[in-house]
């Protein structure tokens, strides 16, 4: 049995890591408290820091872009909001303090790749955001009198019938400074917070801003496949544990590969000789 084996990473568009320019990136948050008969809003503004991961296809003279990950957070350690309901606060007052606030977009919640026009403009639609952080609140109103803390990332803190986050569009522009990609993103997100802590009050969060970032190629370590012959003419394939599959094919192009599923934590596979397939090619790739 003649066997060729090597390790390859998962074939995909080129990933790039963009780091926000804190001096040029900004973030505005507005939280509206609706008591039914009256509602009030307050807002806070800050610079932004964080990272973005994007896939460009192809890497040079890119035709499409897909934002797959966003992790943006205010440079302020605290966002503070104050409310006074009715004339001279006759219907009550409220204070909100938000710490460790982050606006995030995970790969599974990102929209499809968007086309770039000749100026690098694009619009990636149907992105589902998430917000994390701690909210410390002090509610002293005619409908609710309560104080405490809420973890925005803990599903147990939210009501079961809480609405899903509204998808949002990412409008942006990709340009190049030599071989360095420059990315500008504009976002506008709205989300309603429903919690048992806020019964009697509707809490609506609106976050909008601009991220300006410089990119560098994201280096992904490829899985290493070790090959050793065993008695009987077979081969033992081994690797460091990870989330992989093995592809096997009779052609080096892997035009019609056989997918060999691996168990969680599996780090070894024995390839047995096959008389009807004297030549086999193997490669290890990420899922």
Query: Where is the domain boundary, 185, 217, 249?
Result: 217
Q: Both 159 and 277 in a single domain?
A: no
Residue 84 domain flag: yes
Give the pairing of strands 14-20 and 202-217.
antiparallel
Q: Both 200 and 262 in a single domain?
A: no
Q: Both 203 and 264 in a single domain?
A: no
Q: Both 119 and 140 in a single domain?
A: yes
Q: Both 252 and 130 in a single domain?
A: no
Return the pLDDT at 97.
94
Residue 99 domain flag: yes
- Nearest in space to 207 (alpha carbons), one of 139, 132, 266: 132
Residue 108 domain flag: yes
Residue 39 domain flag: yes
Residue 113 domain flag: yes
Return the pLDDT at 10.
41
Return the pLDDT at 222.
67
210/172 Cα distance (integer angstroms)? 9
Residue 52 has, within 13 A of its CA and on its CB side, a CA count of 29
Number of domains in the chain: 2
Return the pLDDT at 53.
94
- Nearest in space to 64 (alpha carbons), one of 119, 114, 107: 114
**DSSP 8-state secondary structure symbol assigned to residue 113:** -
Q: Which two tokens stand for residue 195?
A: 């919690």
Residue 168 domain flag: yes
**DSSP 8-state secondary structure symbol assigned to residue 152:** T
Give the pairing of strands 180-193 and 130-141.
unpaired
Q: Both 247 and 199 in a single domain?
A: no
- Residue-by-residue pLDDT tens, the chain, 287 positions: 444 444 444 444 468 999 999 999 999 999 999 888 788 999 999 999 999 999 998 877 889 999 999 999 999 999 999 999 988 889 999 999 999 999 999 999 999 999 999 999 999 999 999 888 999 999 898 888 889 888 887 766 665 666 678 899 999 999 999 989 999 999 999 988 777 777 778 889 999 999 999 999 887 666 777 878 887 777 888 888 888 888 888 777 777 788 888 888 888 888 876 666 557 777 887 77
Return the pLDDT at 80.
94
Query: Where is the domain boundary, 200, 217, 234?
Result: 217
For position 244, which CATH number holds? 2.60.40.10
62/198 Cα distance (integer angstroms)? 47
Residue 8 domain flag: no
Domain containing 83 equals: 14-217
Return the pLDDT at 226.
82
Q: Both 90 and 229 in a single domain?
A: no
279/230 Cα distance (integer angstroms)? 17
Q: Both 62 and 149 in a single domain?
A: yes
Query: Where is the domain boundary, 163, 187, 217?
Result: 217
Q: Both 255 and 165 in a single domain?
A: no
């Amino acid at each position: 049995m003649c066997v060729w084996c090597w390790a390859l990473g998962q074939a995909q568009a080129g990933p790039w890591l963009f780091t926000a320019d804190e001096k040029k990136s900004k973030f505005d948050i507005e939280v509206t408290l609706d008591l039914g008969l009256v509602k009030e809003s307050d807002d806070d503004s800050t610079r932004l820091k964080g990272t973005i991961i994007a896939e460009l296809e192809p890497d040079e003279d890119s035709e499409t872009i897909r934002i797959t990950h966003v992790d943006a957070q205010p440079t302020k350690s605290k966002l503070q909001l104050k409310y006074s309901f009715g004339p001279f606060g006759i219907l009550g007052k409220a204070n909100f303090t938000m710490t460790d606030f982050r606006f995030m977009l995970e790969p599974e919640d990102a929209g499809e790749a968007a086309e770039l026009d000749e100026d690098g403009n694009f619009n990636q639609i149907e992105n589902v955001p998430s917000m994390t952080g701690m909210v410390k609140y002090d509610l002293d109103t005619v409908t609710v009198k309560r104080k405490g803390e809420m973890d925005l990332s803990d599903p147990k803190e939210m009501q079961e019938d809480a609405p899903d986050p509204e998808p949002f569009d990412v409008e942006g522009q990709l340009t190049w400074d030599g071989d360095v990609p420059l990315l500008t993103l504009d976002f506008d997100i709205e989300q309603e917070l429903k919690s048992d802590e806020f019964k009697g009050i509707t809490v609506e969060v609106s976050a909008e801003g601009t991220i300006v970032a410089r990119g560098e190629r994201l280096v992904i370590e490829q899985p290493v496949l070790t090959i050793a012959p065993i008695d009987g003419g077979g081969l033992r394939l081994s690797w460091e544990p990870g989330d992989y599959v093995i592809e096997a094919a009779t052609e080096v192009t892997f035009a019609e590969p056989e997918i060999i599923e691996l168990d969680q934590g599996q780090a070894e596979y024995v390839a047995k000789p096959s008389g009807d397939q004297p030549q086999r090619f193997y490669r290890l790739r990420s899922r």
